[in-house]
Chain A
Amino acid sequence: MNGAAPTSFDTWLSARADGEAGAGLDWLEAQRRSALHQVREQGVPGTKQEAWRYTSLKRLIEQGFARVEDEVTALQLHDIEELLIPGLDSHRVVMVNGRYTPSLSALGDLPPGVRVTGLRALLASDPDALRERLNGVAGESQPLFAALNTAGLDDGLVVLLDRGAVLERPIELIHLSVGMDEPRVAQPRHLVALADGAQASLIERYVSLGESLYCTNSVLELSLGRDAVLKHDRIQIESPNAFHITGLYLSQDAGSRYVGVNVGLGAAWARTDLVTRFRGEHAECDLQGLYLAGDRQLMDYHIDVDHAVPSCSSRETFKGILYGKGRAVFDGRVVVAKDAQKTDAAMSNKNLMLSQNAEIDTKPQLEINADDVKCSHGTTVGQIEPEKLFYLRSRGISAPLARRMLCMGFAEEIIDALQSDALREVVSEEVGRRLETAPLT
């Protein structure tokens, strides 16, 4: 970084040595141009803007992240072995610094009607498969980081299931960040589309080798056709110095079911936007989350649920554990449209504060424009209860272990909702490990 601190995100969009993905596709060029225009228009939002009220972008922009230039080709399978989850039988897709890396991936046999591939490769081989889908869920007008991702669109995971296709094993995306000589930003762009009646499960994991400084700005567009079912676990364990931004844009047709668990443990600064829209009746969306905001860590969640049609149900259940000088934001919003009768929506955010220096801004909101609905929201901010602590200690359990057990007990509900034992074990261990070194003041 030379001279004055950067004041825009222009460096995020510098040219790539190996050329832009889908070069020469007019429709894609148009989307990129439109996104770039939106990025320029939005500038750097300040805390007067509702979406950034609790979180300043200063720390992020000051890093002057430059776009990843080169592919990391030196990694061998044994380099990433420690990152694999024992006992997890998956179709594995590995991306390194934003690029799909076939040599580290293990797709295995896919049943008929299922396509799992890299975005860049598909733009080259069959762009028409993407033309209607890219930006189909995120829409034309995008918030800043989605627009940045679109403007710098390069590679990502594409999962396409035909009508009625059923995937037995989960698709596991491992997004690995490897430190470069200067701070880099990768902007993976994922697309998951399940046609009517299709069923799949997806695991997204964001991990790193080492503790370097980098930024990941990912966008996932997810569309569920009629009666489609998707189980989706997302586990963010970025480097402790990393910045992590993610936007999940979800569209659900009638009768579809989405069950997602969002676990945020890593990164110094993390922002998550979850945007879901119902397009048909009797669809269900179950969104759960667990975050740890440790010392000098920021975890910022924005959830937007649009009950645009009647008879859908949504659950948003987020729990956070904060310690040291950890900070978290939970800004949740459920909007029930005028005609969306029989909507069933419940949003809750519970926080356990282990130190007095931690800070939480929590604001679950309901905007109800229909009269025959069942909606609720609630939020709690509490400490470890002394009588629980005493009970454990009276049984010979040391105070630090007792505190950890109570924290794990608090997190259990969300960890339990993960889709496999292997995943539960890994997340449990990671949460436990972090709490073990958590400062309690």
Chain B
Amino acid sequence: MMLSVKGLRANVGENEILKGLDLEVGPGEIHAIMGPNGSGKSTFSHVLSGREGYEVTAGSVTFEGQDLLALEPEERAHLGLFLAFQYPVELPGVNNTYFLKAALNSIRKSRGESELDAVSFLRLIKEKLKILHLNDSLLKRAVNAGFSGGEKKRNEIFQMALLEPKLAILDETDSGLDIDALRVVADGVNALRSPERSMIVVTHYQRLLDYIEPDRVHVLAKGRIIRSGGKELALELEEKGYGWILEQEQAA
């Protein structure tokens, strides 16, 4: 198993947001996590990536057999975890190319690989831009500074392409995107699918899953996964809304 989450409970301040979450993700699998607002989707993404401000009170998260929760955010990235942010952070004054190079070389170094020199790095960047059909204008700018919503999301996918994670978490990557931007982002994600790379696609809406086809769909509500199924579950949700499944859950 690539990722194994068992009985995960987490608080933000006094409030318990995750209330015993279980999830297993195998290599190469794409899992969609859907759920209404406030169900704990973003909290789950943040806890996995090691963001401050969350207190894990019970349960475990293992990533390729390692205790993920014991690691610093950068150590998780070194292992191959990647979070595509719902709201990518603007870093004025920090050049995007410099940032990408620092990130890639940090990860390479952690694996005992040599740092890439400027020439090899630029060659790699060009190659990745081509795969994602992006132009190089975003390289010269400061990280996300003054980027449109679509550009920010594309920059996230671009980072993912470059850093080649084993497990990518896409946190509401579709939010705020029009249909064209959504397609560009989804195409990028699909280009990065591989038998070794798993993904967790967190989304409120089914429409992203029209473009990124999941192997499994999970419904997160009130801090737990209350239903899992194949991709047809997403369509059912689209048709009937979350109310239906919540009622069923309460009845059970």
A386 to B107, CA, bound (A): 21
Least Cβ–Cβ distance between A408 and chain B, in angstroms: 7
Instruction: Assess the B74–A396 pair: CB atoms within 8 A.
Output: yes
* Per-residue interface assignment for chain B, residues 54 to 77, with 1 indicating a CB less than 8 Å from any chain A CB and 0 otherwise: 000000000000000000111011
Instruction: Assess the B77–A399 pair: CB atoms within 8 A.
Output: no
Pick the contact of B94: A387, A393, A399, A406 (CB < 8 A).
Answer: A406
Give the A-B pair count, Cβ closer than 8 A: 79
A410 to B92, CA, bound (A): 7
Between A386, A387, A394, the greatest number of chain B beta carbons within 10 A of the residue's beta carbon is seen for A394
A410 to B104, CA, bound (A): 22
Instruction: Assess the B93–A397 pair: CB atoms within 8 A.
Output: no
Residues of chain B within 8 A (CB-CB) of A408 are: 93-94
Instruction: Assess the B93–A409 pair: CB atoms within 8 A.
Output: yes
A386 to B73, CA, bound (A): 13
Least Cβ–Cβ distance between B93 and chain A, in angstroms: 3
Least Cβ–Cβ distance between A290 and chain B, in angstroms: 12
A398 to B72, CA, bound (A): 9
Closest to B142 in A: A409
Instruction: Assess the B159–A395 pair: CB atoms within 8 A.
Output: yes
Pick the contact of A397: B74, B82, B89 (CB < 8 A).
Answer: B74
| New A-B pairs, 12, CB < 8 Å, besides A396-B106, A411-B93 | A387-B89, A391-B89, A392-B103, A395-B163, A396-B78, A401-B102, A401-B106, A405-B98, A405-B99, A405-B102, A409-B93, A412-B94
Pick the contact of A412: B52, B93, B103, B159 (CB < 8 A).
Answer: B93
Closest to B83 in A: A394
- List 10 A–B pairs whose Cβ atoms lie within 8 Å, in order of A's numbering: A390-B89, A391-B85, A391-B88, A392-B102, A393-B72, A393-B73, A398-B106, A401-B102, A405-B99, A412-B93
Residues of chain A within 8 A (CB-CB) of B194 are: none
Residues of chain B within 8 A (CB-CB) of A395 are: 74, 77, 99, 103, 106, 159, 163
Least Cβ–Cβ distance between B113 and chain A, in angstroms: 12
B110 at the binding interface (Cβ < 8 Å): yes
Instruction: Assess the A397–B102 pair: CB atoms within 8 A.
Output: yes
Instruction: Assess the B94–A409 pair: CB atoms within 8 A.
Output: yes
Residues of chain B within 8 A (CB-CB) of A387 are: 89
Instruction: Assess the B51–A390 pair: CB atoms within 8 A.
Output: yes
State the interface size on chain A (CB cutoff 8 A): 23
- Given A392-B99, A394-B49 in contact, is the A409-B106 Cβ separation under 8 Å? no
Least Cβ–Cβ distance between B140 and chain A, in angstroms: 13
Instruction: Assess the B72–A399 pair: CB atoms within 8 A.
Output: yes
A401 to B103, CA, bound (A): 10
A390 to B77, CA, bound (A): 12
| Residues in B78-98 with C-beta less than 8 Å from chain A | 78, 82-83, 85, 88-89, 91-94, 98
* Per-residue interface assignment for chain B, residues 230 to 248, with 1 indicating a CB less than 8 Å from any chain A CB and 0 otherwise: 0000000000000000000
State the interface size on chain B (CB cutoff 8 A): 30
B7 at the binding interface (Cβ < 8 Å): no
Residues of chain A within 8 A (CB-CB) of B83 are: 394
Closest to A390 in B: B51
Closest to B73 in A: A393
Closest to B84 in A: A394
Residues of chain B within 8 A (CB-CB) of A392 are: 91, 99, 102-103
List the 6 closest pairs (A to B, CB-CB), nearest first.
A409-B93, A412-B93, A396-B77, A395-B103, A409-B94, A391-B89
Pick the contact of A396: B88, B92, B103 (CB < 8 A).
Answer: B103
A406 to B145, CA, bound (A): 13
Residues of chain A within 8 A (CB-CB) of B88 are: 391
Residues of chain A within 8 A (CB-CB) of B110 are: 396
Instruction: Assess the A391–B93 pair: CB atoms within 8 A.
Output: no
B28 at the binding interface (Cβ < 8 Å): no
- Given A388-B89, A405-B99, A406-B94 in contact, is the A396-B107 Cβ separation under 8 Å? yes
Closest to B90 in A: A388
A421 at the binding interface (Cβ < 8 Å): no
Instruction: Assess the B73–A390 pair: CB atoms within 8 A.
Output: yes
A159 to B125, CA, bound (A): 48
A413 at the binding interface (Cβ < 8 Å): yes
| Residues in B92-137 with C-beta less than 8 Å from chain A | 92-94, 98-99, 102-104, 106-107, 110
A397 to B75, CA, bound (A): 9
* Per-residue interface assignment for chain A, residues 367 to 402, with 1 indicating a CB less than 8 Å from any chain B CB and 0 otherwise: 000000000000000000011101111111111011
B36 at the binding interface (Cβ < 8 Å): no
A413 to B142, CA, bound (A): 11
Instruction: Assess the A396–B93 pair: CB atoms within 8 A.
Output: no
B50 at the binding interface (Cβ < 8 Å): yes
A412 to B142, CA, bound (A): 10
Instruction: Assess the A409–B92 pair: CB atoms within 8 A.
Output: yes
Between B51, B73, B88, B163, the greatest number of chain A beta carbons within 10 A of the residue's beta carbon is seen for B73
Least Cβ–Cβ distance between B190 and chain A, in angstroms: 22
Closest to B100 in A: A395
Instruction: Assess the A405–B94 pair: CB atoms within 8 A.
Output: yes
Instruction: Assess the B163–A396 pair: CB atoms within 8 A.
Output: yes
Least Cβ–Cβ distance between B46 and chain A, in angstroms: 9
Residues of chain B within 8 A (CB-CB) of A398 are: 74, 106
Residues of chain A within 8 A (CB-CB) of B91 are: 388, 391-392, 405-406, 409
Residues of chain B within 8 A (CB-CB) of A402 are: 74
Least Cβ–Cβ distance between A292 and chain B, in angstroms: 15
Least Cβ–Cβ distance between B99 and chain A, in angstroms: 7
A399 to B49, CA, bound (A): 15
Residues of chain B within 8 A (CB-CB) of A411 are: 93
Residues of chain A within 8 A (CB-CB) of B89 are: 387-388, 390-391
Residues of chain A within 8 A (CB-CB) of B94 are: 405-406, 408-409, 412
